[in-house]
Amino acid sequence: MKSSYSFLVPAALLALITTNAQAQQSAAGVKTEYLDSAGVVLPSAQSAAYRRETEHLDAGKGLVRIFSLEGRRESVREVEFQKGEPVPNGASENWYENGQLRSHEEYVHGQRLGEMRLYYPNGQLKRRAHYTSYFVSSGECFAADGQPVPFFEYEKLPVYPAGDGGTAAVVYAIQRGVKYPKDALKAGKSGRVFVSFNVTKTGEVADIKVVQGVFPSLDEQVVQSVQRLKPFIPGQQDGQPIAVPFTIPVTFAIE
């Protein structure tokens, strides 16, 4: 018998939030949804903070626009539709409340590739970077007064305090903590358990959930192993700690 493990990279930190909540569809092919301040879709405009419009264009492409309820432009993102869901593909821009451009980013099939420009509220350039692969870029950073400061990556994944600190170290730590339960072996149960969790701003593992289970004791083994993970060095976005979601499939196979 053996158990094998694999790791899914967290979804892009700026990916659009989608849901099955009610939406309004116009004759022009624009779906309108209302969001609260956290970006969660609401059933109506009541208590909403934003309005999101998703427009289908030709060749599976589209636009996602977000406005305040007062009509102020918040963001516009070019997307492609994969299994009906919008995935960033092309330019994405966001604005401050004063109308000043906050950011310009470029994506290819959901991955940040190409140019990124970030601005301070007064229009001063904050960061100019060019992405060549996932989480890897080169460029320039500037202080609010326009003076250059040392360049640093805009996004950093959490670092695990073992091995190389990367995804392989996380997978290995979970693998070591999982044993094939006797009742599952006796029942001939095998398959993939999908577990999700967040690494919080302080590096703690939280919100552990079995997304797709196989058998109660198999599911519990995976959850317990994740619970025993050591605290991470938190992920970062623009130099500030952020929470980062992970999803890991653990495969149990009997030979």
- The number of folded domains in the chain is 2
- Of 192, 196, 197, give the one whose Cα is nearest residue 218: 192
Q: Is the pTM of this model over 0.75?
A: no
Burial of 18 (0-12, 13-18, 19+ CB in 10 A): middle
Do the domain assignments include residue 181? yes
Do the domain assignments include residue 1? no
Domain final residue, candidates 104, 131, 152: 152
CATH of the domain at 168: 3.30.1150
Statement to judge: residues 55 and 135 lie in one domain: yes
Statement to judge: residues 84 and 135 lie in one domain: yes
Within 8 A by CB and 6+ apart from 213, the residues are 193, 219
Domain ranges, residue 219: 158-253
Dump pLDDT digits (tens) for 158-206: 999 999 998 889 988 998 899 999 999 999 999 999 999 999 999 999 9
Dump pLDDT digits (tens) for 64-123: 999 999 999 999 999 999 988 999 999 999 999 999 999 999 999 999 999 999 999 999
